[in-house]
């Protein structure tokens, strides 16, 4: 492959960093209910299950749309799809401020969730700018936009206390709309889309886009992401309520402590991508599952606040590595289907962020035991670690890895 020209390198870097900033803003909006949902819960008198459904509903939308957005991105260009996704989510978030009843909040939350679909767009948009040996690092940097959850945890409580949850929603919506406009005027189309447009090449059929999804391997990767990303989102949403309920923190303190989980669970994703490029995604995945099993095991008991914070920090850190490692596999195994495969992996991962908060609420309502959420995560980690180990042993036995996949997962 010829060396990239300085202009191409600058274009790729600009696309990466603007996409990452945009994803950070999207993620901040996507998780807004983790803070304003607490006040809405108080106003409406919701139980824990209803609260879990409320904070999980945006995650449902953001998950389900990822497959379709992942398909649209190569067809119509990531720049256009990304911008329209941000503007649509901004409008829904602004209208959220006018909801009054629980059903209205759930409908508004579906629209807010569009912000979460931006991840599938960004993955398909960013990948073509970088060669295979740098895609893990690039996608890791992009995925660090998960830190938007921490932005919401840090800032939203203060805006909420000072001006109310309605103003918080309007401010977050305005920021997302402005980001969409900046992104449109500051980026270019990705190289694959430009080449396709210039060549007037026929578009792949919908069936061809979905063909790789017949492979069980895709769904195995998806379930890894169900824990690494879905578990991260679920805890990012649930922790403020957990900390208030278990340790009696006020909402500002709970937001700050929850951010201590969200930050390492986000920014170290870039490091996870770097490690996956250098050491192999498989090794990173083993590390994540083993350490996550230990930390969720500890968190499954009633422990002191200091031990809890330290454990949740470690859990967030290894989840960030695992999120990057999962996505390192995709361009290695499916270089011509990054959009659809990345979309379905992101969809299943995002569904974890929807299903798990509801499960957390149901477990709390039925057992009365707050750490039951970590018991569930501990069991999930053990199942996935066992499945991965058996699958890797079978791959080694049959020697069926392609050269690129072997490099990615060694």
Class of 15-192+209-409 in CATH: mainly alpha
Per-residue pLDDT of the chain (410 residues; tens, 9 = 90+): 344 444 578 889 999 999 999 999 999 999 899 889 989 999 999 888 888 889 889 988 988 898 889 889 888 999 999 999 999 999 999 999 999 999 999 999 999 999 999 988 998 899 889 887 888 888 889 988 888 888 888 899 999 999 999 999 999 999 999 999 999 999 999 888 888 777 765 666 667 777 778 888 899 999 999 999 899 889 988 998 899 999 999 888 888 888 778 777 778 888 988 898 888 888 999 999 999 999 999 999 989 999 999 999 999 999 999 998 998 888 778 877 877 888 889 889 988 988 898 899 899 999 999 999 999 999 999 999 999 999 888 877 775 544 444 444 44
- For residue 193, what are the CA distances in angstroms to 217, 346, 408? 27, 21, 25
Structure tokens at 224: 């890894």
> Whose CA is closest to 28, among 124, 126, 165, 168?
168
Where along the chain do its domains lie?
15-192+209-409
Per the CB < 8 A criterion, the answer to whether 272 and 140 are in contact is yes
- CA–CA separation, 321 vs 265, rounded Å? 8
Phi and psi at residue 11, in whole multiples of 5°? -65, -45
Give the residue ranges of DSSP H helices in 226-304.
232-247, 251-262, 264-267, 269-279, 281-299
| pTM > 0.85: yes or no | no
- CA–CA separation, 270 vs 152, rounded Å? 20
> What would you report as the CA-atom Rg of the chain, rounded to the nearest whole angstrom?
20
């Amino acid at each position: 492959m010829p060396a990239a020209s300085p202009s191409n390198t600058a274009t790729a870097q600009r696309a990466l960093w603007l996409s990452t900033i945009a994803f950070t803003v999207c993620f901040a909006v996507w998780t807004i209910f983790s803070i304003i949902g607490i006040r809405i819960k108080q106003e409406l008198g919701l139980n824990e299950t209803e609260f879990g459904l409320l904070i999980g509903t945006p995650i449902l939308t953001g998950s389900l749309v990822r497959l379709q957005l992942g398909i649209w991105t190569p067809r119509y260009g990531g720049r256009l799809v990304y911008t329209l996704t941000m503007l649509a989510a901004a409008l829904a978030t602004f209208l959220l401020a006018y909801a009054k009843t629980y059903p209205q909040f759930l409908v508004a939350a579906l629209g807010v969730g569009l912000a979460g679909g931006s991840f599938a767009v960004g993955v398909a948009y960013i990948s073509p700018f970088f060669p295979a040996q740098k895609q893990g690092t690039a996608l890791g940097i992009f995925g660090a936009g998960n830190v938007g959850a921490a932005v919401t945890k840090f800032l939203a409580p203060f805006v909420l206390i000072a001006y109310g949850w309605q103003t918080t929603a309007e401010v977050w919506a305005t920021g997302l709309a402005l980001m969409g406009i900046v992104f449109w005027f500051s980026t270019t189309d990705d190289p694959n889309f430009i080449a396709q447009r210039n060549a007037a090449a026929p578009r792949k059929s919908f069936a061809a886009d979905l063909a790789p999804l017949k492979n069980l391997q895709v769904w195995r990767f998806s379930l890894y992401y169900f824990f690494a990303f879905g578990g991260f989102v679920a805890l990012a949403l649930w922790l403020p309520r957990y900390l208030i309920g278990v340790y009696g923190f006020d909402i500002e303190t709970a937001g700050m402590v929850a951010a201590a989980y969200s930050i390492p669970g986000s920014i170290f994703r870039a490091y996870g991508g770097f490690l996956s490029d250098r050491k192999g995604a498989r090794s990173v995945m083993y590390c994540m599952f083993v350490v996550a099993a230990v930390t969720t095991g500890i968190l499954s008991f009633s422990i002191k606040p200091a031990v809890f914070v330290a454990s949740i920090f470690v859990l967030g850190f290894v989840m960030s590595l695992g999120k990057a490692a999962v996505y390192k596999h995709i361009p290695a195994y499916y270089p011509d289907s990054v959009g659809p495969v990345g979309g379905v992996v992101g969809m299943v991962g995002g569904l974890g962020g929807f299903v798990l908060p509801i499960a957390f609420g149901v477990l709390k309502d039925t057992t009365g035991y707050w750490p039951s959420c970590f018991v569930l995560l501990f069991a999930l980690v053990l199942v996935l670690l066992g499945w991965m180990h058996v699958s890797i042993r079978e791959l080694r036995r049959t020697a069926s890895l392609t050269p690129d996949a072997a490099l990615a997962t060694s």
